[in-house]
Amino acid sequence: MKITALLMLKCMPEGADPIILANACDVSHFGFFQRSSVREFIVFVSRTVAKRTPPGQRQSVQHEEYKVHSYNRNGLCAIGFMDDHYPVRSAFSLLNQVIDEYQKNFGESWRTAQADSTEPWPYLDNALTKYQDPAEADKLLKIQRELDETKIILHQTIDSVLARGEKLDSLVEKSSDLSAASQMFYSQAKKTNQCCSIL
């Protein structure tokens, strides 16, 4: 599971190309000579998808092994490029968090933006790194993963008890044998003692 890019865009109501407000990309898994083309492709696809995402809507677009997730909240649009294995719910949870954080940091100043911003936004770079694990973006997925781990530990514990139980069964059998031998010893000792008793 990999996030390649996160972008914030201002969608223009009159159909013009959206304006990039913030951009964070990790293209290190591409070949060195492909990286600039990949960055350009990310910007192109981001503008295209953001332009076609109506306000208040979410959508996902599949391209080969990648998905582009888009969430337009009243003209402020978050875009995420993830691989096909990244859970959709986690992706949209992440985009929602990114929009919330952007509005918290910049308020409504994005509405007056007229050109693409080239200034880095450290939160977006940190989010790109932190949320590579979908459980960080989606608390329900994190809880589910913890429950699954608990279930695995529980199964391991039951398996170890059963393995120990097999040993306990052999002890019980030995104990039963010992009990039968003790009973035999007791009855033979009783017979032997009968012939020696004087009354």
Query: Domain residues of the chain, as ranges?
Result: 3-163
Q: How confident is the prediction for the chain on average, in pLDDT?
A: 78
Judge whether residue 23 has pLDDT over 60.
yes
- What is the pLDDT, as a whole number, of residue 3? 87
- What is the pLDDT, as a whole number, of residue 158? 56
pTM exceeds 0.85, yes or no = no
Contact 56, 72 (CB under 8 A): yes
Judge whether residue 140 has pLDDT over 70.
no
- What is the pLDDT, as a whole number, of residue 80? 92
Q: What's the rounded mean pLDDT across residues 160-182?
A: 58
* pLDDT grade for 167, boundaries at 50, 70 and 90: low
- What is the pLDDT, as a whole number, of residue 79? 93
- What is the pLDDT, as a whole number, of residue 126? 86
Q: Which residue has the tokens 């007056």?
A: 112
* pLDDT grade for 199, boundaries at 50, 70 and 90: low
Question: Rg of the chain's alpha carbons, rounded to an integer?
Answer: 34
133 CB burial (10 A radius; 0-12, 13-18, 19+): middle
Judge whether residue 161 has pLDDT over 80.
no
3-state secondary structure of 186: helix
Q: What's the rounded mean pLDDT across residues 104-114?
A: 87
- What is the pLDDT, as a whole number, of residue 137? 65
Considering only residues 198 and 10, tell me which one the structure prediction assigns the higher pLDDT: 10
**Digit-coded pLDDT (tens) for 42-96:** 888 888 888 888 888 888 888 778 888 999 988 899 999 988 888 888 888 888 8
Judge whether residue 155 has pLDDT over 60.
no
22 CB burial (10 A radius; 0-12, 13-18, 19+): buried
Q: Which CATH number fits domain 3-163: 3.30.70.2520, 3.30.450.50, 3.10.620.30, 3.90.1150.10?
A: 3.30.450.50
76 CB burial (10 A radius; 0-12, 13-18, 19+): buried
- What is the pLDDT, as a whole number, of residue 119? 81
